[in-house]
A and B are shown apart, each in its own frame.
Chain A
Amino acid sequence: MSEEGIVKKFMYVNRKCPYGTIYALESLEVVLITAAFDQDVSLAFTDDGVY
């Protein structure tokens, strides 16, 4: 993929608790992929995400 070394800031928001649903795992996946593209990535935990 041709991103020509552009680095952008990505913030993902996790509002779901870690167990019982697949959402927390899928938020982890998207963060890891974004990091693999050498982007400036952060993950905010709010609501039930704090658990």
Chain B
Amino acid sequence: MKLGILINEGPYQHQASDTALQYVKAAIEKGHEIYRVFFYNDGVNNATRFASPPQDDRNISKEWSALAKTHDIDLVVCVAAAQRRGILDKGEAERNGKDSDNIEEGFRISGLGQLVEAGIQADRLITFGD
């Protein structure tokens, strides 16, 4: 089955992002296709590479990045939600006159149209976080 994933909560604040990560891993293991993972609302905070949790704690952003690299998953961050919360890629940083970008490798910033497209193209759109 082709699955679209929507994540609405940041890492470490709620269980949502951890659960989504486990869900995506399990779905891939079962042979399902992950069409796209879309990050909206506070979910965009999963995309920062500046989070530095203690060595013995899980690094959720890095785990998403590694999973995306291994299985070639499309991780998309909503541009409007990301700009409000200070998540920038190189292009957005330049456009907004910021001195640096902070997006984790494997994530890309795009519009809400990507979420709608995932809803249309995928068989199911699964939401994590309220």
Contacts and interface: CB of A to CB of B under 8 A. Distances in A.
A43 interface: no
A28 to B, nearest CB: 11
B120 interface: yes
A6 B119 CA distance: 11
Interface in B59-80: 80
Interface residues of A, number: 16
Interface string B90-130: 00000000000000000000011101110111000000001
A30 B40 contact: yes
Given A29-B80, A33-B113, A37-B113, A3 B120 contact: yes
Contacts of A23: 41
B84 interface: yes
A1 interface: yes
A22 B119 CA distance: 23
B130 A33 contact: no
Contacts of A15: 130
Contact of B119 (A1, A8, A26, A29): A8
A45 to B, nearest CB: 13
Interface of A: 1, 3, 6, 8, 10, 13, 15, 22-23, 26, 29-30, 33-34, 37, 39
What 5 pairs between A and B have smallest CB-CB spacing? Answer: A33-B112, A37-B116, A34-B116, A3-B120, A6-B120
